[in-house]
Structure 1
Amino acid sequence: MKQAPAAPESDRRTSRHRHDREIVSLAVPAFGALVAEPLFVMADSAIVGHLGTPQLAGLGIAAPLLTTAVSIFVFLAYATTAAVSRRVGAGDLRAAIRQGMDGIWLALFLGAVVVAAVLPAAPSLVGLFGASDTAAPYAITYLRISALGIPAMLVVLASTGILRGLQDTRKPLYVAIGGFTANGALNLGLVYGAGLGIAGSAWGTVIAQFGMAAVYLTVVVRGARRHNASLRPDLAGIRNSAQAGAPLLIRTLSLRAVLMIATAVAARLGDADIAAHQIILSLWSLMAFALDAIAIAGQAIIGRYLGAGDAHGAKQACRRMVEWGVAFGVLLGVLVVAARPLFVPLFTNDHTVQHTLLPALLVVALTQPVAGVVFVLDGVLMGAGDGPYLARAMLVTLVVFAPVALLVPTLGGGLTALWWAMALMMTVRMLTLVLRARSGRWLVTGASR
């Protein structure tokens, strides 16, 4: 009788260890794939930078436009992961792959629409960024050529969602590494070997992107044939995929609006402030990749549990992933503080920028545990297919953040005050997500929500 209480504790330890193994097996490769993706732009910048300042300036204008055009459709990965993992949990792999094919067809349709819009609008889009007369032609050239790769990148997003839903984050890692390697080799050969200049860089990236899409499609088609799943477009299924992704699109656009407002406010504060802000944003994005890897694991694991009808298992997994998020947030915050004398000089030797940067950086470090909770619960609710709530919560966050951030230039406090506004934004996100998680309303079981 005295040993009876040991059994529940033993069960809890076993459950934690099982969740830990699942999280690590999915999150570590996902982190590698997430970090590999921005290396495309870094490689292009390094290669184009040696052509001259006008060419690099042109790339600096075109690259953010392309990144935005792709990132707003990230719901293709998130919504597909949730839908596929539910069907995996329900034991219906044929329906899981069929659901994923609907996401791929939607990606091709959206990609074609974006290309049709960007090609004629390229000069106007470049003009909105105030490109100089010397940089504008290079920006237009790069934008028009690279836009041809957008359908491929959207297919990559949807296919990545399929594999994540199938609990496989290793293949996306391998494809990302292969794509980055091919991109670098092609760019070097076309820019310098073939003498195509910035156009060669764009073509190299497009070829690498279509190569990645081809690899993904090969994997998906093989899986479809193995499980006798149809590859033909299904209008009802495509429409359902679009409806499931629409709330996540609203969420993503609201988040992008937060970042744009923050950058606009920083620009109004002065050159030193905007320079310091860009450094912090780069660091913040890198830390976001680490936390987002846990969120991706959450999408796949939660969807599978709910698809299997195991609401209790989903709740336990959620609790364990939140613990991981907090722990990693604390670790990242400590690393930021401890390593700041080492990495700050790598970005700038300007003492004014450094002086502006350091107090704001401490605010970022303090908010990393909050960010850990936010990223994890964001992934959990995505995996549960709770997109409409995520859209509403992010709109509320935007409404709270925008007036506070816009008042910073008037009330004073500089960049540090702006990043306190960002901390407020993350806190509001955390509160809305924690309230939803504790309500249990996201625990909807079954092969579809």
Structure 2
Amino acid sequence: MKFSGPAIGLWICGPLMSLIDTVVIGQGSSLELAALGPATVLCDYLSYVFMFLSIATSNMVATSLAKQDKDEVQHQISILLFVGLTCGVAMLFFTRLLGAWALTAFTGPQNVHMIPAANSYVQIRGLAWPAVLVGWVAQSASLGMKDSWGPLKALAVASAVNGIGDIVLCTFLGYGIAGAAWATMVSQVIAGYMMIEALNNKGYNAYAISVPSPSELMEIFMLAAPVFVTMMSKVAFYALIVYFATSMGTHTVAAHQVMSQLYSMFAVFGEPLSQTAQSFMPELMYGVNRSLVKARALLKSLLIIGALSGLILGSTGAFVPLVFPKMFSPDPLVITEMRRVLIPFFFALCITSCVHSLEGTLLAGRDLKFISLSMCGCFSLAALFLMLVSSRGYGLPGCWCALIVFQWSRFIMALRRLLSPDGILYSEDLTPHRMEKLRAA
């Protein structure tokens, strides 16, 4: 609880920033609220593609700390900071050169009226890409050192800056969606700087950047590739839902923007369960005092907590737009569309915490090949269902039913894998799950 409690804040801050943007912009313009849908796909969902940096950093730093080799920890932080900075600069240029093209291709010709507002948001937010990815590496290094308070302080300050900036720039100065983008961008730069300073305070030089060797790049790739495939599947599916919702008109995509931001906000409460599994399971699976019985007991506890928290989160998440819809938009057409998806919203959200517990355990056991392959399978199944319900004219509720299929199929496949006699919680043979074998695979 001491470790995962502050970690909740780490996961909340990102969706909270976008939710603040949604609430503030929704009070002024339904068009700008709708434009946030495709804009946040490029700004927020696309950032999850680089989650492999976070996983690789935590894993490599924690492994080196176990060897008590501080020099190796410093070197790994330096090369990962280089990778993060390189990816951030590449994304900055992508946004500047191809942002408008990507938005136009995504929204389609029938929604060309959204492009100017969406592109304004994307171009401003894109300036923070290097700071965002470098900050992620620094944050993950701190988590690998079992410090969740330092990153939490940085993100708490960033969230406060974002909230105040939104109110001042949008409500009082009337800058609209551009003002929200500036507030979020500045807050992300501040967060990145504070993450680096938190790492420096632990005795490491977070300003030292080293170019990785080909072998070091291969090591990062072997660890990150399955995670990359997993995150790409998630991002692609969420983006696919936004794509189909965008084709249904301005009011529908505005409603979906509100509900998807609420979903993201409440879903992240399950992420600390995944982080807890990744932090405590390896010792029980591979440590000196290895005990698969205790590992199974820990997973049972995580699932019970996940089920209870899922019911609470699902009920609370559905209650807010049902009772306080005008907090997000005064438009009655947007409110009607929001209320149409409350039931599938609940069923998709209530299982999310359990999914995080199971997938965190699989990550801890380095069953990465299964995670990536199963995620691709779940994506394919849910995408086919999404295309079917969209072609039959089921509207936004059909899109959210596809999310139910996606989430529950992930839950069923991960649970079956962990309960299998050959799974990582029952098999005494560690060979299939060692990194050497994964590299060969």
TM-score, normalized by the shorter chain, greater than 0.5: yes
Q: How has the CA–CA distance of structure 1 residues 89 and 305 changed in structure 2, closer, same or farther, with 3 Å as cutoff?
A: farther
Q: Which deviates more, 191-200 or 396-405?
A: 191-200
CA distance in 2, matches of 1:419, 1:54: 25
In structure 1, the residue matched to 2:100 is 123
Q: Is the 8 A contact 2:15 2:265 kept in 1?
A: no
Tell me, yes or no, if structure 1 residue 71 matches structure 2 residue 51. Answer: no
Q: Is the 8 A contact 1:98 1:224 kept in 2?
A: no
Aligned-residue offset at 1:199: 4.3
Q: Unaligned stretches of 5+ in structure 2? A: 327-331
In structure 2, the residue matched to 1:360 is 344
How many residues are matched? Answer: 420
Aligned-residue offset at 1:34: 1.0
In structure 1, the residue matched to 2:163 is 184
Q: How has the CA–CA distance of structure 1 residues 255 and 431 changed in structure 2, closer, same or farther, with 3 Å as cutoff?
A: farther
SS of the residue corresponding to residue 40 of structure 2 reads helix
In structure 2, the residue matched to 1:21 is none
Q: Is the 8 A contact 2:274 2:358 kept in 1?
A: yes
Aligned-residue offset at 1:165: 0.8
- Return the letter of the residue paired with 1:223: K
- Equivalent residue in structure 1 for 2:308, among 330, 333, 347: 330
Residue by residue over 1:140-193, the C-alpha shift from the partner in whole angstroms, topping out at 9 and shown as x without a partner, is 233222211011111122112111111111111111101111233445556688
In structure 1, the residue matched to 2:121 is 142
- Return the letter of the residue paired with 2:405: A
Aligned-residue offset at 1:231: 5.0
- Return the letter of the residue paired with 1:25: K
Q: Unaligned stretches of 5+ in structure 1? A: 1-23
Q: Which deviates more, 101-110 or 414-423?
A: 414-423
Aligned-residue offset at 1:109: 0.9
Structure 1 vs Structure 2 CA RMSD:
4.1
Q: Which deviates more, 332-341 or 100-109?
A: 332-341
Q: Is the 8 A contact 1:149 1:209 kept in 2?
A: yes
CA distance in 1, matches of 2:250, 2:181: 31
TM-score by length of 2: 0.78
Q: How has the CA–CA distance of structure 1 residues 411 and 53 changed in structure 2, closer, same or farther, with 3 Å as cutoff?
A: closer
In structure 1, the residue matched to 2:8 is 31
CA distance in 2, matches of 1:215, 1:234: 25
In structure 2, the residue matched to 1:14 is none
In structure 1, the residue matched to 2:91 is 114
Tell me, yes or no, if structure 1 residue 152 matches structure 2 residue 131. Answer: yes
Aligned-residue offset at 1:282: 4.7
Residue by residue over 1:301-320, the C-alpha shift from the partner in whole angstroms, topping out at 9 and shown as x without a partner, is 3456678x336157734641
In structure 1, the residue matched to 2:64 is 87
Q: Is the 8 A contact 1:81 1:383 kept in 2?
A: no
Aligned-residue offset at 1:322: 4.0
Tell me, yes or no, if structure 1 residue 40 matches structure 2 residue 40. Answer: no
Residue by residue over 1:193-225, the C-alpha shift from the partner in whole angstroms, topping out at 9 and shown as x without a partner, is 888665454333333222221222223234354
In structure 1, the residue matched to 2:405 is 421
Q: Which deviates more, 211-220 or 264-273?
A: 264-273
Q: Is the 8 A contact 2:64 2:72 kept in 1?
A: yes
Q: Which deviates more, 269-278 or 202-211?
A: 269-278
- Equivalent residue in structure 2 for 1:387, among 368, 371, 377: 368
Q: Which deviates more, 40-49 or 72-81?
A: 40-49
- Equivalent residue in structure 1 for 2:294, among 316, 323, 332: 316
SS of the residue corresponding to residue 50 of structure 2 reads coil
Aligned-residue offset at 1:295: 0.6
Residue by residue over 1:346-404, the C-alpha shift from the partner in whole angstroms, topping out at 9 and shown as x without a partner, is 23877965874454356447x62xx4442113223323444333212212322343334
Q: Is the 8 A contact 2:19 2:261 kept in 1?
A: no
CA distance in 1, matches of 2:222, 2:435: 19
- Return the letter of the residue paired with 2:384: P
In structure 2, the residue matched to 1:399 is 380
- Return the letter of the residue paired with 1:360: P
Q: Is the 8 A contact 2:96 2:123 kept in 1?
A: yes
Q: How has the CA–CA distance of structure 1 residues 124 and 292 changed in structure 2, closer, same or farther, with 3 Å as cutoff?
A: same
Q: Is the 8 A contact 1:279 1:347 kept in 2?
A: no
Tell me, yes or no, if structure 1 residue 213 matches structure 2 residue 192. Answer: yes
Aligned-residue offset at 1:95: 2.6
Q: How has the CA–CA distance of structure 1 residues 418 and 279 changed in structure 2, closer, same or farther, with 3 Å as cutoff?
A: farther
In structure 2, the residue matched to 1:377 is 358
TM-score by length of 1: 0.77
SS of the residue corresponding to residue 167 of structure 1 reads coil
Q: Is the 8 A contact 1:48 1:55 kept in 2?
A: yes
- Return the letter of the residue paired with 1:374: V
